Structure 1
C-alpha cells in the first residue's frame, strides 16, 4: 500500500463518505419510534400532537413497530418510513401530519394593509 495515488483516492472516498453522512444527518428534523403501540420521540422536535396521532394511526392500522422520520426537503419537511410500516399505512400517517409553519412568519411580510 505504498502507492500514493491509491492512498489519495482512498482518503478522498473516506472523507466524502463522512461528509455525505453528516449532511444527511443535518436534514433529519425528528425521529419517532413506534413500539408496542407507543410512539416515542427518539430525536428532534416533531409538532406537539404528532406523536399521539401516530399512536392512534398505528393502533387503528395494526402497526406494532417502525420508525417515522421527518426529513427537511428544501423549505418543507417530508415523512419517511421504515420497512416495518406497511406502505398501505403511509398515507394514514401523512394525513395526521401537520407541518410547522415556514420560518420567518407568514408569506408577504405579514404587514397589514392600511387604508
Structure 2
C-alpha cells in the first residue's frame, strides 16, 4: 500500500466508483480520467483527485477537434532518414505515414514548449 500520492492517473469507468476509490488509496493516484470516452459518474468529483476527460477523434468527436485544434493530441513521429548528397536536402516529413490520419502541427512553435 502506498503512503505517498501523486503523478498517477487512473482510467475511470462508469459504475466503478468503489473500485476506483480503492485503487486510488492503494496506488496513490492523484488523478482520474474517463476511459475510452466513457463518462465518469458524478460522485467521482467527491474524490480527492484531479478529474479530467479525453476525447477520441475516432469516436465521433471530429467537429469538436476541428474547432479546437489547439487541444488535439500531440504525437511525435520520426521522418524517414534522408541522406544529404548535396549542399541542400529536402525531407518529406510524412513520407511513409497515413496522411489522412496525422498532420504536422503548424500552429505552434515547438521551441516555445
TM-score, normalized by the shorter chain, greater than 0.5? no
**Larger % of helix: which?**
1
TM-score (norm 2): 0.23
TM-score (norm 1): 0.23
**Larger % of strand: which?**
1
